[in-house]
């Protein structure tokens, strides 16, 4: 053997993880402080694995690991040694969420020598992440002076032990005064930057949509009993899936049924079951056995790029959550909510969100999109919503204080006192503003130079309609009929639809309601439809394109609208019209159904208006005939802007680059206004920008006189419009355009500040 050569000797010692876990359970049951428990644990692990060193590093914060207990390293290094995530072998394990097993640690990539620990005499190193459901809480390490490779059994055994340490950390077993405060999880302030999906602000109490299940007894005292518990929970899970598949509402084929069929297959997957049973055989309780499999699934999800495989792994993750609920005897989220409930979830469907209803003060989602069904429901209910708030479900606990800022797209969990006070001041200012808006409720949106602007509200749920008399809207400029379909398990029958539309008109109490026909496709899929695999679904087979092909769906909805009107005035609007021929075909279908209803002797609407949403630039250049035969046009600002600028509004990298007050976009809107004026076609603007006071002002200055927005936005828009001279605003815009400005926003904002407008 040459001088300096390291002789690698496989240990062959193995480790009986069940026996080791029993010893750990015994020492954890003994009285003592958190530090004493952790000290005893490293002693037991080192003795059982016949290593000179065992150390536990816990996360002090998101980027820092602290040595909290050791046997073999210098005692004075405990709570003195800290490493950044990614720094040294311990930091690498935390960053990569994977074990490191080396016989020659000093020559391993990333090794960092820490003189204060005295670890330079130890060659062999085995470290594993202490993780729980994909969240790394720390690192568990064993070391020996002998240069040897640890066996697979030893690696597996240490991973099993790390799972138990993670669960005990989550339970607060090691928390104590002074230095051991580091072991307390969910204690530090957490700031989540997401994306604003519904404006507003709220301070309240966290309510987790999915219960946070912790194994209070992580070690299996009776493995056979734990296997039986797992088997019973799996049987209950399979029965739950079978029950959903047998439900009459899901008898028809479609994506919903295909998802459940996939769940049924995965729930019976022998490999999945075998891995969980092996975890129990290693000494883990049934709950921790499922959690270990779930953690490994989430780790694989982070590494897999293939969309199909990620979807299957996501299904496994969801099944594991359901299985944990059965094991814990949890029935799902409680509806016994605190008065200031703020929902925190990875994601949520529209029907589930409606179950909570207006009881929620705010919502924070780890996933989601601004155009998702949940976002639409949240806007309808005027609940502040932040989406894509990374790691918030891992950090939040039921009962935590949380601040939700839907204007900025951020959430403060367990905020510091100065942050809380500043937020309370913001809430107080908003409350004062609400009083000012309420005082204007019954007054018209009349500018100082006598220009009257009609303000309408957008809706899509029966829950929206009570807002109509209270928000100051003159009617409903957009009623999204698809939401009634999307929150149900099957397409509602014609009679049910007719009754629903009648109730909407009843609630409107004579005010105009414009019903938009089904805007489905893209991410909005009916229960009996299969999701289309399209490279760009927002520009694919959706809205009027789809319903003209699925004539049965369109005809049934038109019949329901005609009958639901019960002799009252009716306004119908087609979405996503790209050319005149599409509008003509839709209009002919409506007129054909009117003739059929007349022949049947059914009551017809007192008046019938048929309009179109202008959401594609192509429709602005339609032949004059289109503007003559269309009873009204509504500019769909959300889609029109993304197609005008070729910037996906779901893509955060590009959507904020393009401004509604860009001179080219305002010029395009002005052209549409001129074409409508030439033919006497009523025009409105509908979308998020209609509800933003400065944008609304600019749109009115270039000629829009009807705006449709979410109910909560009517007060702020009306307040600003009543405070300004529209002709002066037009002058500011024209001057900025003449100077070659790309956007009129800077000039408009300067002018508004100069006149002290109520922004």
Tell me the catalytic residues. 373, 686
Within its chain, how far is the Cα of 76 from the centroid? 45
Give the count of alpha carbons within 13 A of 412, CB side only: 17
Determine how β-strand 475-480 pairs with β-strand 512-516. Answer: parallel
- What are the angstrom distances between the C-alpha of 738 and each of 177, 645, 703? 67, 22, 18
Strand-by-strand arrangement of the 82-84 sheet: 82-84, 64-71, 53-61, 135-144, 124-132, 100-102
H or E segment and range at residue 636: strand 633-636
Contact at 8 Å (CB) between 523 and 557? Answer: no
Contact at 8 Å (CB) between 49 and 142? Answer: yes
The position carrying tokens 């949509």 is 209
| Nearest to 373, CA basis, from 394, 345, 353 | 353
| Nearest to 468, CA basis, from 533, 384, 397, 382 | 382
The position carrying tokens 């026909």 is 517
* Euclidean distance between CA atoms 46 and 69, whole angstroms: 12
Q: Where are the alpha helices (DSSP H) in 454-573?
A: 468-471, 482-486, 494-508, 543-549, 551-565
* Euclidean distance between CA atoms 19 and 17, whole angstroms: 5
Q: How many CB atoms lie within 10 A of CB 107?
A: 10
* Euclidean distance between CA atoms 715 and 701, whole angstroms: 19
Residue 166, classified by CB atoms within 10 Å of its CB into exposed (0-12), middle (13-18) or buried (19+), is buried
Would you say the C-alpha torsion 205, 208, 213, 214 has a positive or negative sign? negative
Strand-by-strand arrangement of the 201-208 sheet: 190-193, 410-413, 401-405, 201-208, 341-345, 362-365, 385-387, 195-198
| Nearest to 734, CA basis, from 637, 656, 666, 633 | 666
CA angle, residues 80, 85, 91, in degrees to nearest 5: 75
| Nearest to 633, CA basis, from 595, 671, 665 | 671
Cβ neighbors of 100 (< 8 A, separation 6 or more) are: 89, 92, 93, 108, 125, 126, 127
Cβ neighbors of 189 (< 8 A, separation 6 or more) are: 412, 413, 414, 415, 416, 419
Three-state secondary structure of 162-221: HHHHHHHHHHCCCCCCHHHHHHCCCCCCEEEECEEEECCEEEEEEEECCCCCCCCCCECC
Determine how β-strand 401-405 pairs with β-strand 201-208. Answer: antiparallel
| Phi, psi angle pair for 313, to nearest 5° | -65, -35
The position carrying tokens 């028809």 is 252
Cβ neighbors of 646 (< 8 A, separation 6 or more) are: none
Give the count of alpha carbons within 13 A of 210, CB side only: 22
* Euclidean distance between CA atoms 192 and 110, whole angstroms: 30
């Amino acid at each position: 053997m040459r001088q300096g050569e390291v002789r690698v000797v496989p240990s062959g010692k193995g480790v009986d993880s069940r026996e080791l876990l029993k010893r750990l359970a015994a020492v954890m049951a003994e009285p003592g402080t958190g530090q004493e428990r952790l000290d005893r644990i490293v002693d037991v692990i080192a003795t059982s694995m016949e290593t000179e060193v065992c150390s536990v590093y816990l996360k002090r914060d998101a980027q820092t690991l602290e040595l909290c207990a050791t046997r073999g390293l210098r005692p004075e290094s405990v709570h003195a040694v800290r490493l950044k995530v990614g720094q040294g072998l311990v930091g690498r394990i935390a960053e990569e969420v994977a074990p490191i097993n080396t016989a020659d640690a000093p020559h391993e990539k990333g090794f960092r020598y820490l003189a204060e620990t005295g670890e330079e005499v130890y060659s062999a190193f085995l470290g594993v992440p202490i993780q729980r459901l994909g969240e790394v809480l720390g690192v568990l390490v064993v070391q020996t002076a002998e240069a040897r490779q640890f066996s697979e059994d030893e690696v597996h055994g240490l991973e099993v032990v790390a799972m138990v340490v993670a669960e005990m950390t989550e339970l607060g077993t090691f928390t104590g005064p002074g230095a051991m405060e580091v072991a307390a999880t969910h204690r530090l302030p957490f700031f989540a930057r997401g994306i604003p999906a519904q404006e507003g602000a709220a301070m309240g109490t966290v309510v987790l949509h999915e219960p946070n299940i912790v194994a209070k007894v992580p070690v299996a005292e009776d493995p056979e009993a734990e296997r039986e518990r797992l088997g019973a929970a799996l049987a209950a899970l399979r029965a739950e899936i079978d029950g959903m598949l047998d439900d009459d509402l899901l008898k028809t084929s479609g994506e919903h049924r295909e998802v459940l069929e996939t769940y049924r297959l995965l729930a019976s997957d022998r490999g999945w079951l075998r891995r969980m049973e092996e975890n129990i055989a290693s000494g883990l309780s049934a709950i921790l056995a499922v959690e270990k499999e779930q953690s490994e699934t989430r780790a694989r999800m982070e590494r897999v790029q293939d969309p199909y495989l990620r979807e299957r792994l996501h299904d496994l993750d969801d099944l594991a959550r359901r299985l944990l609920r059965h094991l814990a005897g949890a029935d799902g989220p409680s509806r016994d909510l605190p008065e200031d409930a703020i929902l925190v979830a990875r994601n949520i469907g529209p029907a589930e969100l409606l179950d909570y209803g207006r009881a929620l003060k705010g919502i924070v989602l780890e996933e989601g999109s601004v155009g998702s069904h949940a976002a639409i429901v949240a806007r309808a209910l005027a609940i502040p919503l932040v989406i894509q708030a990374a790691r918030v479900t891992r950090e939040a606990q039921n009962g935590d204080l949380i601040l939700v800022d839907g204007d900025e797209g951020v959430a403060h969990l367990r905020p510091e006192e100065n942050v809380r006070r500043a937020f309370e001041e913001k809430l107080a200012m908003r409350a004062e503003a609400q009083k000012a808006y309420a005082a204007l409720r019954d007054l018209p949106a009349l500018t100082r130079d006598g220009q009257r602007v009609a303000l309408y509200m957008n809706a899509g749920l029966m829950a929206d309609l009570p807002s109509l008399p209270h928000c100051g809207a003159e009617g409903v400029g957009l009623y999204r009929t698809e939401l009634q379909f999307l929150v149900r398990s099957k397409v509602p029958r014609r009679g049910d639809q007719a009754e629903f539309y009648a109730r909407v008109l009843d609630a409107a109490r004579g005010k105009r309601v414009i019903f938009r026909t089904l805007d489905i496709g893209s991410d909005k899929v009916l229960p009996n439809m299969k999701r289309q695999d399209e490279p760009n679904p927002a520009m694919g087979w959706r809205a009027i394109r789809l319903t003209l092909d699925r004539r049965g769906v369109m005809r049934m909805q038109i019949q329901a609208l005609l009958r639901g009107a019960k002799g009252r005035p009716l306004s119908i609007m087609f979405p996503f019209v790209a050319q005149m021929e599409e509008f003509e075909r839709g209009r002919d279908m409506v007129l054909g159904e009117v003739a059929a209803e007349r022949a049947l002797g059914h009551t017809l609407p007192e008046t019938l208006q048929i309009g179109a949403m202008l959401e594609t630039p192509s429709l602005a250049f339609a032949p004059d005939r289109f503007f003559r035969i269309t009873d009204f046009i509504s500019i769909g600002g959300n889609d029109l802007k993304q197609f005008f600028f070729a910037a996906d509004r779901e893509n955060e990298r590009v959507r904020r680059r393009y401004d509604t007050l860009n001179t080219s976009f305002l010029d395009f809107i002005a052209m549409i206004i001129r074409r409508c004026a030439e033919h006497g076609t009523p025009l409105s603007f509908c979308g998020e920008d209609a509800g933003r006071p400065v944008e609304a002002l600019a749109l009115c200055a270039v000629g829009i006189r009807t705006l449709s927005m979410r109910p909560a936005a009517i007060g702020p828009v009306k307040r600003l419009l009543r405070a300004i001279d529209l002709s002066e605003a037009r002058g500011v815009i024209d001057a900025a355009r003449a100077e070659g400005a790309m956007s009129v926003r800077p000039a408009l904002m300067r002018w508004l500040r100069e006149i002290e407008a109520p922004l």
